[in-house]
């Protein structure tokens, strides 16, 4: 009898403890989420602003476009550390991402990236300041539906061409909105078979700018031919003048046995270049600070070339872009960028496997 009671008591205690054990196991598994996505096609994306901060609780729109043209749009809210999760199938994707503060009229930040699955399940995106532009195409004051439109901006921090789409056309009301363009000056151009035109727009962060683009008829075929013939005639006159003026100078040099010396300034500049001396920085780039002029006058020829390019690119440029445009070897470019960083003329910002060089604004104010 006692044995049966003990057996019954043991079974009752075991039955009552099972839910507690199950709860304990679930709580343990849920309290330690995996650091990387475990499901196939699940992507952990981290958004980061160009200044290094993370946008928390901000609306994020992501358009994932596959090579076959299929697109999917995700509307998410960034979590702690700017993190969000995406579920995508296998394949290659172009991601077009926009951070949009609902209190502003236009896009605030944008980023683009390429992604292949399976394989890349963790991705960091750097978002750059952006704005939106609505353009209306007109000709003679009348709207022009279906005109081909494209934007060209001074900055290329993100692929704004893919943001708008490969082929952009004005709607039936002759209008089109670029959802995200980099801040700064952009030129919007439009064309049809018979007309073309362009307009310059200042893109401001978080704002929706409006512009009217007036097109004009293209030059006729005969006018184009006449322009080409006129250009050929001008080139022939210049060549004739250069040839005979050099023929007139040649006997004078032969008679005296001496060549005319180059102007003093030109000779001095050549002497400086041969000696490897620092080049004077041109004064036409808006450098008003005397301190900045003094610092820039100490630059080598290669460093000055890099700084000029940064000025013409709105104060920022990727290392890969400078290497391509300036035809400077990667090792030499990095060495000169580090030298400019030590002189506190530029600031170098990591950008994945690349980097962004930005002029120090306080030096030029």
In a domain, 19, yes or no: no
pTM over cut 0.75: no
Q: How far is CA 135 from CA 153, 155, 337, in A?
A: 15, 19, 39
In a domain, 260, yes or no: no
Same domain (yes/no): 57, 124: yes
Summarised one tens digit per residue, pLDDT across range 230-249 is 778 888 878 777 666 655 55
Choice between 20 and 363, residue whose per-residue pLDDT is larger = 363
Residues 63, 75 contacting (CB under 8 angstroms): no
In a domain, 194, yes or no: yes
Summarised one tens digit per residue, pLDDT across range 2-11 is 455 555 655 5
In a domain, 7, yes or no: no
In a domain, 150, yes or no: yes
CATH number at residue 149: 2.60.40.1120
- pLDDT for the residue 18: 44
Q: Range of 225's domain? A: 220-251
Answer with the one of 100, 129, 158 that is the final residue of a domain. Answer: 129
Q: How far apart are CA 211 and CA 188, in angstroms?
A: 9
Residue corresponding to tokens 């993100």: 158
- Strands 91-99 and 83-87 come out as unpaired
In a domain, 259, yes or no: no
Same domain (yes/no): 178, 99: no
Specify the number of domains making up the chain: 4
Q: How far apart are CA 169 and CA 167, in angstroms?
A: 7
Summarised one tens digit per residue, pLDDT across range 40-51 is 678 888 999 988
In a domain, 2, yes or no: no
Same domain (yes/no): 125, 201: no
As a dihedral over the C-alpha atoms of residue 85, residue 208, residue 311, residue 51, rounded to 10 degrees, the angle is: -30
In a domain, 78, yes or no: yes
């Amino acid at each position: 009898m006692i044995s049966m009671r003990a057996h019954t008591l043991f079974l009752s205690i075991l039955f009552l403890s099972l839910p507690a054990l199950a709860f304990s196991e679930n709580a343990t598994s849920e309290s330690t989420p995996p650091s990387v996505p475990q499901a196939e096609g699940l992507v952990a994306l981290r958004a980061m602003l160009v200044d290094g901060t993370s946008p928390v609780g901000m609306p994020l729109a992501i358009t994932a476009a596959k090579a076959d043209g299929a697109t999917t749009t995700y509307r998410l809210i960034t979590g702690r550390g700017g993190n969000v999760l995406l579920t995508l199938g296998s394949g290659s994707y172009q991601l077009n991402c926009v951070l949009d503060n609902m209190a502003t009229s236009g896009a605030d930040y944008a980023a683009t990236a390429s992604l292949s699955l399976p394989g890349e399940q963790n991705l960091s995106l750097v978002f750059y300041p952006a704005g939106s532009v609505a353009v209306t195409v007109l000709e003679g004051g009348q709207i022009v539906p279906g005109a081909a439109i494209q934007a060209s901006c001074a900055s290329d921090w993100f692929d704004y061409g893919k943001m708008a789409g490969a082929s952009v056309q004005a709607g039936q009301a002759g209008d089109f909105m670029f959802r995200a363009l980099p801040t700064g000056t952009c030129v919007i151009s439009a064309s049809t078979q018979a007309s073309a035109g362009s307009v310059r727009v200042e893109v401001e962060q978080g704002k929706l700018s409006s512009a009217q683009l007036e097109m004009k008829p293209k030059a006729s075929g005969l006018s184009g031919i006449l322009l080409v013939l006129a250009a050929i005639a001008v080139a022939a006159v210049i060549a004739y003048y250069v040839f005979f003026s050099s023929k007139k100078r040649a006997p004078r040099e032969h008679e005296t046995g001496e060549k005319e010396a180059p102007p003093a300034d030109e000779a001095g500049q050549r002497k400086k270049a041969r000696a490897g001396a620092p080049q004077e920085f041109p004064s036409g780039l808006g450098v008003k600070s005397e301190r900045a002029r003094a610092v820039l006058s100490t630059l080598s020829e290669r460093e000055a070339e890099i700084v000029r390019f940064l000025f013409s690119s709105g104060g920022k440029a990727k290392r890969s872009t400078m290497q391509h445009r300036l035809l400077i070897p990667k090792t030499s470019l990095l060495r000169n960028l580090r030298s400019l960083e030590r002189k506190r003329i530029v600031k170098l910002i990591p950008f994945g496997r690349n980097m962004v060089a930005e002029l120090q604004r306080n030096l030029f104010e």
